[in-house]
Amino acid sequence: MQFGLVIVGDEILSGKREDKHLPKVIELLRARGLALAWARYVGDDPARLEAALRDAFASGDVVFSCGGIGATPDDHTRQCAARALGVELRLHPEARRLILERMADVAREQGLPFEPDRPDNVRRLNMGVFPAGAEIIPNPYNKIPGFSVGHVHFVPGFPVMAWPMIEWVIDTRYAHLAPHARRVERSVVVFGAMEATLTPLMEELERRHGAIKVFSLPSVDHPVHGRHIELGVKGEPAAVEEAYTDLLRGLREQGVRLGPELVR
């Protein structure tokens, strides 16, 4: 299974807020030997969001959706998820219990009586209205849960809530996907060469070493190395060592100038 990410919100696309989810999800997955296969940004447009979520459900991937699960008029994710699935929205009983518990906690902290039937408190229960059949994702920050339907998981847009919730999902449901062997990358900075001239060597390495992947990262304005290409291989340590030796041999045969070597 691959991992995908949907990031929801006009505030991201307009530049009012900077997205922090993409690098963090990459970090969380990498720490477990996993990787993000794709990411998608969607504004608060119900039709586009419904289409994006329909694609997510159909992908068969593990997908995290960040944002838009609140109960204000600009939050559409819960409704769009239900339409994408063709199911009704329902108040989840466990979500209801947790939201009421949170409201009681806030009232107690403020020294006020807890009034669950007060109109604003009744509206807050909308945050627990999920597509039929959803399971909750616990929220350690304020108890207001996210939800999962199949392998698509919905969390708030706030990083302080979203990140521990995503981490919980990965470790609870997908620990078995973590590779048994550690994965590494080895690369070298190449000066004065074009990707087109290096492509045959890259293709030969992947043919000869089926267990690794070759990557090429060109840069035109690096503050230290200037114009260069970082060329490398990634995979399990033993396979990487063998392929990297062949990579260096091939580069030296081409007479290119080599710079620093990198290990990750």
What is the predicted pLDDT for the residue at 221? 86
- Whether residue 145 is found in the same domain as residue 213: no
Q: Which residues contact 223 (CB under 8 A, 6 or more apart)?
A: none
Residue 5, pLDDT > 90, answer yes
Asked if residue 237 and residue 165 are part of one domain, the reply reads no
**If 0-12 CB within 10 Å is exposed, 13-18 middle and 19+ buried, where does residue 88 land?**
exposed
Q: How confident is the model at residue 264 (pLDDT cuts 50, 70, 90)?
A: confident
20 and 151 share one domain: yes
Tokens linked to 24: 């963090």
Lowest mean pLDDT, pick from 58-67, 112-121, 180-189: 180-189
Task: Say whether pLDDT at 59 is over 80.
Answer: yes
pLDDT band at 17 (very low <50, low <70, confident <90, very high): very high
pLDDT given at position 179? 80
The b-or-e profile of 89-109 (16+ CB within 10 A means b, else e) is beebeebeebbbebbeeebee
Per the structure, the complete domain to which residue 192 belongs is given by: 184-263
pLDDT of residue 26: 97
Q: Go through the chain and tell me how many residues it has.
A: 264
Of 4, 62, 1, the C-alpha closest to 38 is 4
Distances (CA, A) of 157 to 182, 194, 224, 241, 246: 31, 41, 36, 41, 45
**Residue % of the chain over a pLDDT of 90:** 90
**Buried b / exposed e along 42-70 (16+ C-beta atoms within 10 A):** bebeeeebbebbbebbebebbbbbbbbbb
In terms of domains, do 98 and 172 share one?
yes
Nearest to 58 by CA among 50, 66, 46: 50
Asked whether residue 230 carries a pLDDT value surpassing 70, the answer given is: yes
In three-state secondary structure terms, 150 is: coil
Instruction: State the pLDDT confidence band at 226, using cuts at 50, 70 and 90.
Output: confident
Distances (CA, A) of 93 to 45, 87, 96, 99: 29, 17, 5, 10
**How far apart (Å, rounded) are the C-alpha atoms in residues 240 and 246?**
10
User: Are residue 137 and residue 191 in the same domain, yes or no?
Assistant: no
| Joined tokens for residue 136 | 């909750």
Q: Are residues 204 and 90 in the same domain?
A: no
- For the chain, the average pLDDT equals 95
Are residues 169 and 188 part of one domain? no
CATH no. for residue 36?
3.40.980.10
pLDDT, position 181: 66
Same domain, 154 and 77: yes
Residues 157 and 202 in one domain: no
Task: Say how many CA atoms lie within 13 Å of 190 toward its Cβ.
Answer: 22
End residue of a domain, out of 177, 198, 214: 177
Report the pLDDT value the prediction gives residue 178, as an integer from 0 to 100.
Answer: 85
Do 98 and 203 reside in the same domain of the chain?
Answer: no
Same domain, 230 and 133: no
In angstroms, rounded to a whole number, what is the distance separating the alpha carbons of residues 79 and 73?
11
CATH number at residue 224: 3.30.70.2860
Please give the pLDDT value at position 101.
Answer: 96
Q: 57, 82, 71: which is closest to 133 by C-alpha?
A: 82
Domain count for the chain: 2
List pLDDT tens digits, range 68-110.
999 999 999 999 999 999 999 999 999 999 999 999 999 999 9
Of the three residues 177, 196, 225, the one that is the final residue of a domain is: 177
- Which of 149, 177, 205 is the last residue in one of the domains? 177
Place of tokens 């109109």: 119
Same domain for 156 and 91: yes
pLDDT at 159: 97
